[in-house]
Amino acid sequence: MPYKPRDHYFKKAKQEKYPARSVYKLQEADRKYRLLKRGQKILDLGAAPGSWSKYALERVGPKGMVVAVDLSPLKITAPNLIFLQEDVFSVEPEKLRELIQGEAFDAVLSDMAPKTTGDRSGDHFRSVNLAQRALSLAEELLKPGGVFFVKVFEGEAFPKFVEEVKKRLGGPIKRFRPKSTRAESREIFVLAHKK
């Protein structure tokens, strides 16, 4: 199936003033699993252009907070949004914790993906590497019961990654493929709660 950049979700995102169609993946997961609540503190990794952060801000409300991290700039701003234009591998967990007055996060969300090269195996391992970084930050920064929701490209290292999430955060683990995911995409989301 050919890639249609201007599909239904692309147009819907434009109409609803979200920077990208990816918002509907988070929205679908949130509606199904109730990930986000009023007043929460959310860490959004791989946040650009800002759709997930914008949705998270709507869900947490003015008393909540979103800390977003990405190498690329965000297309949104808000009084309760803090944006770090940094590499996720160099951002210090202590720095992230300081931004929310030393507290723990209620959720760590990651829509990070590598720049794809067409080398399916290489892209898969780069995706798992990003997901492992998100897991390390979640393990350190999430409060007990906190949500970890991460995108990964399926492939040979995927089962091992799921096992690692279970070992480091505790089970059960859910695998989630949103309806808005393109048919040809190998992305899948892993959902866990920190024990």
Beta bridge partners of 176: 189
Active-site entry in 151, 166, 174, 179: 151
Amino acid at 171: G
Q: Tell me, yes or no, if 11 is annotated catalytic.
A: no
Q: 149 and 189 in contact (C-beta within 8 Å)? A: yes
Residue 55 and residue 51: Cα distance in Å, rounded? 6
- Report DSSP letters for 6-54, one per residue: T-HHHHHHHHTT-SSTTHHHHHHHHHHH----TT-EEEEET-TT-HHHH
| Residues recognised as catalytic | 151
